[in-house]
Amino acid sequence: MDPAGVFATSFAQDQALIRTSPQRLALVILVIAMLVLPLLVEPRIVAIATSMLITAVVVLGLQINTGLAGQINLGQAAFMGVGAYTTAILAAKLGWPIWAALPAGGVSAALFGFVFGMSAVRIKGFYLALTTIAAQILFHFLVLNLPSSWLSGSNGITVQPAEILNFKFDSDRSIYYLCLAVVAIMLFGAYGVARSRHGRAFLAVRDDDVASGMMGINVVRTKAVAFLLGAFYAGIGGGLWAYYVRFVAVDQFTLFQSIWFIAMVIVGGMGSITGALVGVFIIKLAQETISSAGTTIVEHVSFLSGDIVFAAMNIFLGAMIAGFLIFEPRGLMHRWNIMKRSYRLWPFPY
Amino acid sequence: MEHHEALLSIVAFPVLIEMEVAIHATPPSAVLLLTLKEIEVHNYKEEFAKRNRSVNSWLAGSVGILSMAFGTGGAQAQTTYNLAGLADFTGPYADIMKDVTGCRRGVVEWWNAEVGKDLGVNLKVKDYDTRYDVAQVASLWPGAKSELNPVLVFGIGGPDAAALQERLPADKVPMIMATAGYGYGWKPNPWVFNARPTYPHEAAAFMEWFRTKRGGDAPLKLGIISSEASPAYVDIHKGMEKFAKDNPKILEVVETIYTEVQPTDLTSQVNRLIRKGAEVIQVQTNTAAVVAVRRALQSLGKNNIPIMMSAHNSLQASGKAIGGLAQMEGSYEAYGMAIPTEDKTTARAFFEKLRDKYKVSSGYNVACLMGLNQAIVAVRTIESAAKAVGPTKVTGEAVRTALLTVPITSEQSFGILPSLNFSNDAPFPTKGLTVNIGSVQGGKYVIVDQNVTVPILNKW
């Protein structure tokens, strides 16, 4: 929603991502803040920010798949795992450079996701959710049961640091900048998808797939593309994860993680690309703050032991998410949009 | 790192100044010499003889008091080193974490008071909750490293090793795990160490022992109940299958059956193993699986077939889950650390000392022993490092070097562990390993054999 008095007079303006000067200024400030962040804060914050950036890529994909196209997906962690394994194998066993291994990880995850996208053609809702859980189980099964020379089975895969033009991404700061660059590209792509013909088709199918079909939208193709794109993002996130942790194992990509990804989309706001980023930020921040606060409390309050404090902290985290679902189920971006609307109409609300 | 400097003067109270250098406390003997010299000067003046006697008495008294206050052997520098304690307070192992962390803290406090004090080293542990999650460990570690600059990390499980194994060599900080090792971690030049060998090592030792006890030349027929829920579980049975393949005269794996991670009824699966002639059923996954296998054996009327389990799903834990230790009659547990029975062992005596003197509130159980075993290896290694490089120069790298070069005897670990000789070939000692075997006999939890030799296993 644009402020009062701002309106597009050309198609280019209508499609522009940045529509006002304050938006441009805010973006510039954000970019500068993100660039200088590792130089100003302690390593723990840099590590948290890196973790947020990797998760953001995965959740952006889920936002396209679930938030925009309405296809419930509880297998996003499995798609991330496929991307991580592909990137790790290509990098560690075949010596591919990051600029080739990372997109290849995305493509392999997209193909894996596409298979489940085909099932979305016939089923939806809870049934689709169950099918995507099958993706999670299938991924686990394949990794552990295919010949260990292929995917290393239970041994996992060790990955060397990413390297571009003889520069090694082996420090906390360097990996942060790598993730930041990838997130910028993927974010731009996500906004592009949302504004495109495909994005509008996603929204139409999400709101009513029968009516969409009658309007001439290819529903089968749209659902499949939604899964393809969502899984591609997850695969790229998985590839980044492989280069970040430098060790990939099957138990790093669990159903529990997929549920956290869904929680991030809900907290941020379904259907909003910015909401995906907000959701990641809020949930990750809560997790990390609670983890740090627990340690500090245990250290300073001698009569409280770790088991009590950390358990209480986790209950607090759960209560916070439940609170979001009860009081603002449409996410923080919905609340933000209400605020913007009030501001736009002020002082004449009617 | 925290250092103190104490300056002692004749007429002033000691002043403690916190700074980044080692303590240089003036020894009481030097103070005494200085005092006597001053007294001599005063003695030349006869008119002040009386007053001097008074001063002499006052100074001598002061010296006496100060000497008592600061000890007769000279004040010992205390250099504090930090240890990062990774723990799972809110993940799948939350229920045992109080015992694990409580016991490892107890060991550190004991060591500080009885060993570190004389050595000039003080250790401080800070626990971090990892939720048993790789992502959480990965994001916690850079902060823990910059905040504590630890010389050693206590690890709990797979996520800790997965997240840090590629980072620790660069950060030059070794990690000591609480659990047994895994085949996938069996690599040279380790920075992640296990005091115990892999689960298949421990199980193989038991199988050889049980076969000898059974008698005869035929290989022991083993049935394995496992799960694909965790790569660690898969790793365990693959290790056993490899051992059986390499030693066909000793062991035959009749079948490995994958079940759900929390099975409820395994009657048909266990029956299948029995029909194939299984003499022992190995369950090294979790307590729920042990309970389900035991119930299946009971319902099939095959109580004579023992279950072999490990430390984390021990007889105590499984007995508690099934409704009484007596129901585990005839089953076994085997692992490379002390078994927490009621017997008066040196390990138990050490625990009781920690409980009585160092306020460890945990019970004497396997979880506590997991904490004890990693902590005792840590403190003994830091002790060796401090002796090798000096108490003010201990680093993570020096600790790792000490771990690889200085053996830890069973006496040093109060019988909690066998004598350990780490090498650069593996994260756990590969030679001279032994396990202890516990069982329930006549309804009582007992140690049936100790120091059973672990056979040589090839990598799988």
Query: Per-residue pLDDT tens for B155-206?
Result: 998 889 989 999 999 999 999 999 999 998 899 999 999 999 999 999 999 9
State pLDDT tens for residues A193-243.
999 999 999 999 999 999 999 999 999 999 999 999 999 999 999 999 999
B99-138 residues touching A, CB cutoff 8 A: 101-102, 126-129, 131, 134-136, 138
Domain range holding B301? 200-335+436-453
Whole-number average pLDDT of chain A: 90
Domain finish residue from B48, B70, B92: B70
Q: What is the DSSP letter of A215?
A: T
Residues B180, B112 share a domain: yes
Q: Check residue B4 and give its pLDDT.
A: 38
Whether the per-residue pLDDT at B25 is higher than 50: the answer is: no
Which residue in the block uniquely carries the two structure tokens 């002639």? Answer: B277
A175-234 residues touching B, CB cutoff 8 A: none
Q: Smallest Cβ distance to A306: which of B87, B136, B144?
A: B87
Question: Do residue A170 and residue B230 have CB atoms under 8 angstroms apart?
Answer: no
Residues B212, B121 share a domain: no
Q: Check residue B9 and give its pLDDT.
A: 34
Whether the per-residue pLDDT at B59 is higher than 80: the answer is: no
User: Edge-to-edge strands of the sheet including B192-194?
Assistant: B121-129, B79-87, B152-155, B175-177, B192-194
Report yes or no: A298 at the B interface, CB cutoff 8 Å.
yes
- Mutation to test the A interface, candidates B83, B86, B90, most A Cβ within 10 Å: B90
Whole-number average pLDDT of chain B: 85
- What stretch of H or E contains B118? helix B117-119
User: Would you tell me how many other CB atoms lie within 10 Å of the CB of residue A1?
Assistant: 10
Whether the per-residue pLDDT at B20 is higher than 70: the answer is: no
**Domain assignment present for B460:** no
Q: What is the CATH number of the domain that holds B129?
A: 3.40.50.2300
Label each residue of B285-319 as H, E or C.
Answer: CCHHHHHHHHHHHHHCCCCCCCEEECCCCCHHHHH
Provide, rounded to the nearest whole percent, the portion of chain B with pLDDT above 70.
Answer: 83
Predicted structure pTM score? 0.81
Question: Do residue B90 and residue A311 have CB atoms under 8 angstroms apart?
Answer: yes
Number of residues assigned to chain B: 460
- Which of the residue ranges A13-22, A230-239, B82-91, B451-460 would you say has the lowest mean pLDDT? A13-22
In whole angstroms, give the CA distance from residue B328 to residue B292: 12
Residues B65, B85 share a domain: no
Contact A169, A288 (CB under 8 A): no
ipTM for this prediction: 0.82
Residues B214, B321 share a domain: yes
Own/partner pairs, A143-151, CB within 8 angstroms, 24+ separation? A143/A81, A143/A85, A143/A250, A144/A250, A144/B228, A144/B231, A144/B234, A145/B228, A151/A85, A151/A89
Residues B171, B94 share a domain: yes
Q: Check residue A350 and give its pLDDT.
A: 57
Q: Cα separations (Å) of B327 from A338, B134, B135, B271, B321?
A: 63, 37, 40, 19, 10
Distance from CA of A278 to the nearest CA of B (A): 19
A238-267 residues touching B, CB cutoff 8 A: 244-247, 249-252
Chain B residue with minimum CA distance to A299 = B126
Domain finish residue from B49, B70, B91: B70
State pLDDT tens for residues A58-91.
999 999 999 999 999 999 999 999 999 999 999 9
Whether the per-residue pLDDT at B418 is higher than 90: the answer is: yes
Question: Do residue B128 and residue A295 have CB atoms under 8 angstroms apart?
Answer: yes
Distance from CA of A180 to the nearest CA of B (A): 16
Q: Check residue B300 and give its pLDDT.
A: 96
Q: What is the CA radius of gyration of chain A?
A: 21
Chain B residue with minimum CA distance to A290 = B129
Picking from A227, A83, A47, the residue whose alpha carbon sits closest to that of residue B146 is A47
Alpha carbons within 13 A on the beta-carbon side of B241: 14
Residues B446, B408 share a domain: no
Residues B209, B160 share a domain: no
Confidence at B63, pLDDT banded by 50, 70, 90: very low
Residues B355, B206 share a domain: no
Contact B373, B387 (CB under 8 A): no
- What stretch of H or E contains B192? strand B192-194
Q: What is the DSSP letter of B198?
A: B
Whether the per-residue pLDDT at A137 is higher than 70: the answer is: yes
Whether the per-residue pLDDT at B67 is higher than 90: the answer is: no
Residues B177, B93 share a domain: yes
Residues B211, B193 share a domain: no
For residue B232, list chain A residues with Cβ-Cβ distance below 8 A: 154, 251
- The domain ranges of chain A are 41-345
Chain B residue with minimum CA distance to A138 = B228
Q: Check residue A349 and give its pLDDT.
A: 58
Q: How many domains does chain B have?
A: 3
Own/partner pairs, A33-41, CB within 8 angstroms, 24+ separation? A34/A180, A35/A180, A37/A176, A38/A172, A38/A173, A38/A176, A38/A177, A39/A173
Q: What is the mean pLDDT of residues A125-153?
A: 90
Task: Say if strands B251-259 and B220-227 run parallel, antiparallel, or are unpaired.
Answer: parallel
State pLDDT tens for residues B279-303.
999 999 999 999 999 999 999 999 9
User: Would you tell me how many other CB atoms lie within 10 Å of the CB of residue A5?
Assistant: 6
CATH for A41-345, options being 1.10.3470, 3.40.50, 1.20.1070, 1.20.1250? 1.10.3470
Alpha carbons within 13 A on the beta-carbon side of A290: 23
Contacts of B40 (CB under 8 A, 6+ apart): none
Residues B207, B304 share a domain: yes
Distance from CA of A300 to the nearest CA of B (A): 11
Q: Smallest Cβ distance to B134: which of A43, A252, A305?
A: A252
Better-predicted residue by pLDDT, A315 or A255: A255
In whole angstroms, give the CA distance from residue A298 to residue A291: 11
Q: Check residue A348 and give its pLDDT.
A: 67
**Domain assignment present for B150:** yes
DSSP readout, A222-275?
Answer: HHHHHHHHHHHHHHHHHHHHHHHHSEE-GGGS-HHHHHHHHHHHHHH-TT-HHH
